[in-house]
Amino acid sequence: MDIHEYQAKEILSNFGVDVPSGALAYSPEQAAYRARELGGDKWIVKAQVHAGGRGKAGGVKLCNTENEIYQACDDLFGRKLVTHQTGPEGKGIYRVYVESAVPIDREIYLGFVLDRSSQRVMIVASSEGGMEIEDISADRPDSIVRSIVEPAVGLQEFQAREIAFQLGLEPKLVQQMVRTLQGCYAAFSDLDATMVEINPLVITGDDRVLALDAKMSFDDNALFRHPQIAELRDKSQEDPRESRAADRGLSYVGLDGNIGCIVNGAGLAMATMDTIKLAGGEPANFLDIGGGASPERVAKAFRLVLSDNNVQAILVNIFAGINRCDWVAEGVVQALKELDLDLPVVVRLAGTNVEEGQKILAKSGLPIIRATTLMEAAERVVGAWKNDLTQGTKMRAV
């Protein structure tokens, strides 16, 4: 789960990381009032969206007067901000963060991520801040500092000082950097985060170390331990299909293809998508319905897949262990009858109660295409989809 910049800054501030003064606004009028409250003569207005590259896309504006703030916000509110991370559809702007401008002497990149190879938290830092880490890696790989944190002891002060020295900080700034690094690590570990990024972390003209921007992501599976973090979720920034799936306990990721996938198990879902591509098709989604696929759950999965208007055929691939093929078959039949579906549906069942499941499909009287292997199922769904294209696009009711 991602959160907004202003939310990440509030969290990090509670862990001892210094941030510039700022305030949230939901309208141009409120933004101008917030600037008046903050004081000063220069402010930064930042669109709050879950995406990087906001500055290049016009989502960050420097303002010198309250009228400029009003005009900037009037231009931002209600529009879609399109960056290299959002895709052409962009993300809607419904709130802005007004922040006091600070004199910047130097910018630093700072990130905390999970390193899969070492199974540890890795700190990634660079003296070249203000750029995407991918660009830094390509243009200035020698500027990148990497440091693994041992979970048994956490981030020690000597390790934080070593990072500060590697970044070339002056001695008088080292202790501030240590506090920043330890605060970020504490927030990361205590709140089950998967990423903390400050870009840029700036050194100001009056020798302060400030997080000028901040991003945080959290492990969805750990949110039950942190209800205060779960409350920060902003569904307006999510793919509506993925948001709808999460609310129903389903794991869904939307893709650009046209063959919908309903599968149990993440590994089998990945294999199913690969096999569809091998057969000449393009998967429309990743969907793992989990181990306890009741008929009602399968029917929900069908509705979710069909919420994507690009879907022109559906492949149901179930390997039942904890699951039961007869339950899945009942769910498929229930969904097809309720939705009055007029799209090719291929079902491959294997495992527990597979014979009963096959009988339910056969007795339903519905035009369900059955398969016994994954490769056969992929070839049949791709063939059925191509056959439909030659006959013209069918209509469906959802």
Cβ atoms of 315 and 276 closer than 8 Å: yes
At 376, list the tokens: 């056969």
For residue 56, how many other CB atoms are within 10 A of its CB?
Answer: 10
> Does the annotation place 233 within a ligand binding site?
no
> Does the annotation place 316 within a ligand binding site?
no
Please, which residues bridge with residue 386 across strands? Answer: none
Question: How far apart (Å, rounded) are the C-alpha atoms in residues 11 and 23?
Answer: 14
> Does the annotation place 46 within a ligand binding site?
yes
Nearest partner of 24 among 13, 37, 12, judged by Cα: 37
Cβ atoms of 371 and 347 closer than 8 Å: yes
Question: Is the preceding omega at residue 88 within 30 degrees of 0, hence cis?
Answer: no
> Does the annotation place 54 within a ligand binding site?
yes
Q: Could you tell me the CA-to-CA distances from 371 to 298, 345, 346, 347, 368 in Å, in that order?
A: 18, 11, 7, 6, 10
- Helix residue ranges per DSSP H, the chain: 5-14, 28-38, 66-76, 133-139, 157-166, 171-190, 227-230, 240-247, 266-278, 295-306, 325-339, 354-363, 374-391
Instruction: Enumerate the active-site residues.
Output: 109, 197
> Does the annotation place 199 within a ligand binding site?
yes
> Does the annotation place 365 within a ligand binding site?
no
Phi–psi pair at 47, nearest 5 degrees: -65, 135
The annotation places the binding site for Mg(2+) at 199, 213
The annotation places the binding site for substrate at 264
The annotation places the binding site at 46, 53-55, 99, 102, 107, 199, 213, 264
The annotation places the binding site for ATP at 46, 53-55, 99, 102, 107
